[in-house]
Structure 1
């Protein structure tokens, strides 16, 4: 007997809308770098080069990712009056709304890693 999948919202009438909102979330924070950058910036503002080094991301990709995070209201960009000019990035208060998502992903990732490692030990 196969298990029937039920919409994650619990209301099958709203399932198409739920899929659309999940896609919206992935459009904002999906990909390899956005949540990594957010997690780094949770420790405080960083200069562009610091972010690039800490995340081990190329400047070109970093610039693109930061522009998208800024466009979605999650990151602020401040040009400092220094010579040479430096740019600092910081999280906005709105980025705190992602906390539950990040915590849930951390818990699932830890659980998954433990499961995979336990499985690989069983094969050894």
Structure 2
């Protein structure tokens, strides 16, 4: 597991879905389509940071942005078919977090 390829692929994974907000955003989107305002209300993140993180996830084809031409503007975000594959990784992170929390409590 300590080989160069392993390290490079872990680094790439973290580049795409790592950081403070991307995993949280992705967790919300695993529940289904969300509007921008819903995502903003569901987490303590600035509008600028949320916009930046969503754009990066969209650039990496993890999420899709759908804009409706109406007033007021309506924009929805959802996981792409490829983005659905991140659920397995999020489940693994959640399981590890549960075990870590139990360890901290003892």
Q: Where on the TM-score scale, by shorter chain, does this alignment land: which range?
A: over 0.9
TM-score by length of 2: 0.94
- How many residues are paired up? 106
Task: State the match for 2:69 in structure 1.
Answer: 81
Does the alignment pair 1:58 with 2:46? yes
Residue 98 of structure 1 and its aligned partner are, at CA, apart by: 1.4
* Alpha-carbon distance between aligned partners in 1 of 2:30 and 2:85, rounded to the nearest angstrom: 13
1:98 to 86, 92, 101: 86
Does the alignment pair 1:31 with 2:27? no
Task: State the match for 1:107 in structure 2.
Answer: 95
TM-score by length of 1: 0.81
Residue 102 of structure 1 and its aligned partner are, at CA, apart by: 1.0
Q: Which runs of 4+ in 1 moved over 4 A?
A: none
Name structure 1 gaps, 5 residues minimum: 1-6, 9-14, 119-124
RMSD: 1.1
* Alpha-carbon distance between aligned partners in 2 of 1:42 and 1:60, rounded to the nearest angstrom: 22
